[in-house]
Structure 1
Amino acid sequence: MIPGPLQTRAYITAVLTSLTRRRSIPDDIDDAVQIRVDKQTIINTGDRQFAVLLEENVLRHPIGGPETMAGQLGHLLTAGTLPSVSVGIIPLDADRSSLWPVEWLCR
């Protein structure tokens, strides 16, 4: 998924709508969307720096349909021009043959 501070209102709405349907939880989506949108000011205030690294499949698996995803992609492109935000994409065809997952043992 796209990280919260970079989600559009439509993307947030689609995500929360899906969650409320799947989990049969109360529909207070409008309030929750507004809260998330309000929190996004963090990328424009202060001297924080954000580095966002996404896998290409996040952009290829639509949430909310083509119009929502087109708006989300445009928003990512705009956010990437902010001085506080760096956006990187790992392409689908990236060679991962030298990368192996680290397994953690819990005791």
Structure 2
Amino acid sequence: MAQILDPVPNTPSDPIVCCYLNATSSIQVIRITNLENWYFERVVFPGQHLMFEALPEGILEVHTGMMASAILSDQIPCFRLAVKEKEAEIDVEQIKSESAIAVVA
């Protein structure tokens, strides 16, 4: 899986494919800041699944709230968000088909 801006750093650990779901009704900002020489940050909209690569030792910080008042609402070890490669392929295909349906509708 390619990450457009900041590829996972080269380390002895192999990167894992992770999936995060924003199950809230608020926009969230997720970050991984505990890995040396790497910073990951994305905006996740309500109901959105986000798949990304990370190192197993990464800690995903979930910030929830309004633009000026986001609070740290959760910290999740990346290894707990890991998906099996087969599941990842299925999820990507499902997301593509859902996107195609949304465009047609």
Which TM-score bucket, shorter chain as reference? Answer: under 0.3
Q: Going by fraction, where is strand more abundant, 1 or 2?
A: 2
Between the two structures, name the one with larger relative contact order (CA 8 Å, sep ≥ 6).
Answer: 1
Q: TM-score, normalised by structure 1?
A: 0.25
**In terms of Rg, which structure is larger?**
1
Q: Going by fraction, where is helix more abundant, 1 or 2?
A: 1
